[in-house]
Amino acid sequence: MQNPNSSRTKRFAAVLGWALLLMCLPQNAYSRSGTITSFDVPGATGGTFAQIVNEEGRIAGSYVDASGTHAFVRSERGVITSFDPPGSSQTYPKGMNEDGAITGSYYDVSGTAHGFLRDEHGKITTFDVQGATYGTFPLSINDDNAITGFYNDASFTAHAFVRGEHGPIRTFDVQGATFGTFAQSINKSGAVAGSFGDAMGQHGFLRDPQGVFATFDAPGTGTIEIPSTNVESLNDGGTITGFYYPPSIYHGFARDPQGTITMFDAPGSDYTLPMSINKGGSVAGSYWTPGFQAAHGFVRDPQGVITTFDPPSAAFTFAYSINSAGIIAGTYLGFDGFNHSFLGFVRTVADE
């Protein structure tokens, strides 16, 4: 049996390790908004795109070189390892758990998307959901190696799935989801959050570990003809984040375990796009300024205070993931015209 204190010890060690690492970063990596550093996969002529940071500080994503799009994982010490499932022409990691197991999708030479699981030892298993005529798309993995995502059937309708630790796959749909069910995130308990579409628009859902659904819409979405609630992330405490579209612009939201929804916007934003929520309730994402003139990163702390940031030399910043230590991973388009990845700790008001 696993020592119940081992995960807590590992998380404490990870936080301490990150604190020491960030203290040792070069002076030019520091900014008023915190400690941010950039990195690239060697040989990535077409850009490096970080997508996930896990509790241990490992980062996964994809990069582009002359031969195609490949996956990478960057260790806590900065060592980068690239990988591809067999037969892949494009590989896209989307989820990583505390042990370092990674899931995502890859495309074969015919353009069909399949799912993969790369375990913490580097062994890759590929899989498809039965009936997935037009692709299998895993998006999230929890610490029990349960994976969720969606697949497209022969009519291009999306259905959600959960793949168990040992491989069995169960599919599901929200009742009345005539335009697809898209599972986005799975937490430690096995609860799944995502979005679904019907004739009235796009809505959010939460499916508990027993398979019971709760559906919801962000406030104000019913005031327009086609509302849109987009779920992005679910944490272990049951809080959901994402964005929604009432008239004219996108707003961020957080839905607590009791179902109360709070909307928020980054300052000066026309489009606020939360992407990730950590165990403590901090949210990371990006926002666009009016006219799409620039994109910046933001962190919203559990008290609702929003801090904006950009890596040095970033023209457009896209934050995708935040772990419990407050480490953020993402991508930015630099003034040099290339896409780079970044990691860092953004100092919020609560940290000062």
121 exposure class (CB count in 10 Å sphere: 0-12, 13-18, 19+): exposed
Average pLDDT, the chain: 89
Residues 157 and 295 in one domain: yes
Torsion on CA atoms 143, 146, 152, 153, rounded to nearest 10: 180
Of the pLDDT bands very low, low, confident and very high (cuts 50, 70, 90), residue 345 is confident
Sequence-distant (≥ 6) Cβ neighbours of residue 117 within 8 angstroms: 101, 102, 103, 124, 125, 127, 138, 141, 145, 147, 163
Residues 169 and 180 in one domain: no
**Number of Cβ atoms within 10 Å of the Cβ of 126:** 16
Of the pLDDT bands very low, low, confident and very high (cuts 50, 70, 90), residue 222 is low
Of the pLDDT bands very low, low, confident and very high (cuts 50, 70, 90), residue 15 is very low
Residues 275 and 255 in one domain: no
Residues 294 and 226 in one domain: no
Percentage of the chain with pLDDT > 90? Answer: 80
- Domain contains 1: no
**What mean pLDDT is predicted for residues 210-219?**
94
Token pair 């898209």 in the structure block, residue: 182
CA 285 → CA 51, 92, 271, distances in Å? 12, 19, 11
Q: State residue 24's pLDDT score.
A: 37
pLDDT at 320 over 70: yes
Q: Structural domain of residue 193, as residue ranges?
A: 174-262
Q: State the pTM of this model.
A: 0.88
The β-bridge partners of 215 are 205
What's the CATH number where 292 sits?
Answer: 2.120.10
Question: Letter for the amino acid at 238?
Answer: G
Of the pLDDT bands very low, low, confident and very high (cuts 50, 70, 90), residue 347 is low
Of the pLDDT bands very low, low, confident and very high (cuts 50, 70, 90), residue 221 is low
Token pair 């165990």 in the structure block, residue: 279
Of the pLDDT bands very low, low, confident and very high (cuts 50, 70, 90), residue 348 is low
**What mean pLDDT is predicted for residues 102-112?**
97
CA 201 → CA 24, 220, 229, distances in Å? 49, 13, 8
Instruction: For residues 76 and 328, give the distance between their C-alpha atoms in angstroms, rounded to a whole number.
Output: 13
Domain boundary among 244, 262, 280: 262
Kindly report the three-state secondary structure assignment for every residue of 187-250: CCCCCEEEEEEECCEEEEEEECCCCCEEEECCCCHHHCCCCEEEEEEECCCCCEEEEEECCCCE
**What mean pLDDT is predicted for residues 197-214?**
96
Residue-wise pLDDT for 134-167, tens only, equals: 999 999 999 999 999 999 999 999 999 999 999 9
Domain boundary among 246, 262, 278: 262
Q: State residue 4's pLDDT score.
A: 35
Q: How many domains does the chain have?
A: 2
Q: State residue 292's pLDDT score.
A: 87
Residues 337 and 228 in one domain: no
Residues 183 and 282 in one domain: no
Q: State residue 249's pLDDT score.
A: 83
